Amino acid sequence: MRGTRYGGSNSRGTRLLRYVERVFLMGGVAALAWCAYIVTDAYILQRLARERLESTSRETRFASTSSGAPSTKAASARSRPTTGTPLAELSIPRIGLSAVVLHGTDAHTLRLGLGHIDNTPLPGEAGNVAIAGHRDSFFRPLRNVQVGDDILLETPEERVHYRVSAFRVVNSHDVAVVGPTREDALTLVTCYPFWFIGEAPDRFVVRATRIGVFDTTPPGIRDAADNGATQSHKAREGNLAASRRVSRSIQSTSVALSARGANDDDALVRKAVDRFRLAYNAPLARHREAVPDRLMTFRFCEIAIAGSTATATCNGAPASPQSDSSPIWTVGLRRINDEWTITSVAMN
């Protein structure tokens, strides 16, 4: 009788363990499915948001070239967007961070992308533009940021260049970091510590200073708007061949820059120009349909240094194999604390 009772007890225990095992297995599968859904949903939203930004950018460029008004005026005329509206694409090339910025910082928005903090200037506007993101998703690479890193904030109207000037950890209740600043700045905010499980107690804040603004309307697109859809179609047909040619030109650019260095200042200026070129081209290289003549490519550069200022005049690659003309990039620089910083960029 005792053996029978023990056998029954063991049988019940085995069934209970199997039941618990199945519950945990189902819970694990459900958790993995939920994670897959979250990642897929964010990926799809980011892709759709990029397409919407590119579409808006094309419309803005066409309107500005048709009317003759500079595209930067469109930025100042924008009304406050609704929550979830794509505003810009933020990228930090050195640490591999690239994500679309949506308006708002509610839980749903931050799950799908970076969030523009309301009551701060919109991306592209003057003032302290504040952007938040989760430390375990889009802002995960931010833990490797360094002072001096370049940040590109590309709106449909323009590309704004910032440079990281400082970063620090503050209390979660410290809202002064997103307040107004004397100079135009960009503030990135995420939770801290990065490895903390649960709701983190502090905030990691990155402050970047605005360096310059560049009109993203390339001459090829302006010509296509003037000449009609026929030339635009021809440009698309030659896009693949032109992309290969531009790729070869990009690979030889660094050699062309370094080979002509005459002294320490000359070499430092060329290094600063080349570093900016790589940062400028980074977001364009991700778009498969990117027009090659939007890329900044140099065959050679002439450097003129006068005291604490310098000018680099660089001959670029032709817009197409059939083109006889080459763009000329003029880059202005200023020496700050023994380092050369880009102050202006123009293309003729």
CATH number, residue 136: 2.40.260.10
The per-residue pLDDT of the chain, averaged, comes to: 75
What's the distance, CA 268 to chain centroid? Answer: 25
Same domain, 196 and 58: yes
DSSP strand pairing (128-132 vs 158-171): unpaired
Instruction: Decide if pLDDT at 208 tops 90.
Output: yes
Number of domains observed in the structure of the chain: 2
Same domain, 27 and 142: yes
What are the helix (H) ranges across 68-87? Answer: 72-76
Q: What DSSP character marks residue 178?
A: G
**What is the reported pLDDT for 348?**
73
**What is the reported pLDDT for 332?**
87
- Token readout for 86 is 């794509």
Instruction: Decide if pLDDT at 71 tops 80.
Output: no
Instruction: Decide if pLDDT at 237 tops 60.
Output: no
DSSP strand pairing (339-347 vs 158-171): unpaired
Average pLDDT of the residues in 228-252: 45
Domain boundary, last residue among 165, 187, 215: 215
Same domain, 186 and 223: no
What CA–CA distance (Å, rounded) separates 218 from 222?
7
Average pLDDT of the residues in 289-302: 67
Question: Which residues face 326 on adjacent strands?
Answer: none
What's at 179, amino acid-wise?
A: G
Lowest mean pLDDT among 9-13, 116-120, 272-276, 326-330: 9-13
Same domain, 20 and 142: yes
Domain boundary, last residue among 215, 235, 259: 215
Name the E strands within the chain. 86-92, 97-103, 114-116, 128-132, 150-154, 158-171, 185-192, 202-215, 298-306, 309-316, 328-336, 339-347
**What is the reported pLDDT for 22?**
78
As a whole number of Å, the end-to-end CA separation of the chain is 100
What CA–CA distance (Å, rounded) separates 29 from 80?
42
**What is the reported pLDDT for 59?**
63
- Token readout for 66 is 């048709």
Peptide bond into 123 cis (omega under 30): no
Contact between 69 and 59 under an 8 Å Cβ cutoff? The reply is: no
- Domain enclosing residue 129, as ranges: 1-215
What CA–CA distance (Å, rounded) separates 208 from 160?
11
Task: Name the percent of the chain lying above pLDDT 70.
Answer: 68
Same domain, 260 and 307: yes
Same domain, 123 and 242: no
What's the distance, CA 9 to chain centroid? Answer: 63
Instruction: Decide if pLDDT at 32 tops 60.
Output: yes
Lowest mean pLDDT among 114-118, 147-151, 257-261, 334-338: 257-261
Same domain, 245 and 298: yes
Domain boundary, last residue among 160, 191, 215: 215
**What is the reported pLDDT for 50?**
80
Same domain, 264 and 241: yes
Same domain, 239 and 322: yes
Backbone angles phi, psi at 99, to 5 degrees: -160, 155
Give helix 229-237 / helix 239-259 axis angle, nearest 10°: 70
**What is the reported pLDDT for 258?**
40
Same domain, 183 and 321: no
Same domain, 80 and 158: yes
Same domain, 257 and 160: no
What's the distance, CA 312 to chain centroid? Answer: 25
Q: How confident is the model at residue 340 (pLDDT cuts 50, 70, 90)?
A: confident
